[in-house]
Amino acid sequence: MHGLLSVSIRQLHIQRIITLKAIRYFSRTTAPLRCKIEIGKEAKSLVEKAARKMDPFSAEQNEPITNFKHHMGFHGFELYPIQGQVIAWAIVLVLIAYYASAKIEIVIDRSYKNAPFTWATMKDRDHDYVAFGFEPKPAIPRLDLMETLQEEMIEEARRRGTRK
């Protein structure tokens, strides 16, 4: 009991209670307090524009370009390495697609004496084109037996007159 009797209300506690009562009173008021100073239209538009910029759910904030604008905090720069990697991968994929499509031959003009897609035409240049950029030499070796068989078949077809 002795401890409870020694407790007294200090001046600091009274100030905190008054502050809490004031906060409760002003939070219950329904009508906004009138300002004595009138604000011009320019200032109102600036405030509304700033409020729109701060709204994270607006469509303007969800655009990808917002990361590159000048009103970006310190932590926005953490996105630059990731965005750089995505851009680098896109460039690499475009280069691989271009390199792969450069090896495709589509024969439109068939007026050649010897068509470019026959074995006799492409047998000497089939190793010029590799499948991937990281594989400079083909993994599949040339089969000499198959090449000689193919050449003999071409010679026989030419002798019969079915091949030019």
Nearest Cα neighbor of 100 from 124, 134, 137, 140 is: 134
SS3 of residue 86 by DSSP = helix
Number of domains comprising the chain: 1
Does some domain include residue 27? no
Instruction: State pLDDT tens for residues 98-147.
Output: 887 776 665 555 555 655 556 666 666 655 555 555 566 656 667 888 88
pLDDT, position 117 = 56
Helix-, strand-, coil-residue percentages of the chain, each rounded to 5 = 55, 0, 45
Does some domain include residue 139? yes
Q: What is the pTM of this model?
A: 0.27
Average pLDDT over residues 89-106: 83
Does some domain include residue 75? no
Does some domain include residue 82? no
Integer Cα distance of 66 and 113 in angstroms? 60
Instruction: State pLDDT tens for residues 150-164.
Output: 889 888 888 988 766
Integer Cα distance of 55 and 135 in angstroms? 52
Q: Please give the residue range of the domain that contains residue 116.
A: 107-160
Count Cβ atoms within 10 A of the Cβ of residue 150 and give its class: 0-12 exposed, 13-18 middle, 19 or more buried. middle
What's the mean per-residue pLDDT of the chain? 71
Does some domain include residue 53? no
User: Tokens 């590799």 appear where?
Assistant: 130
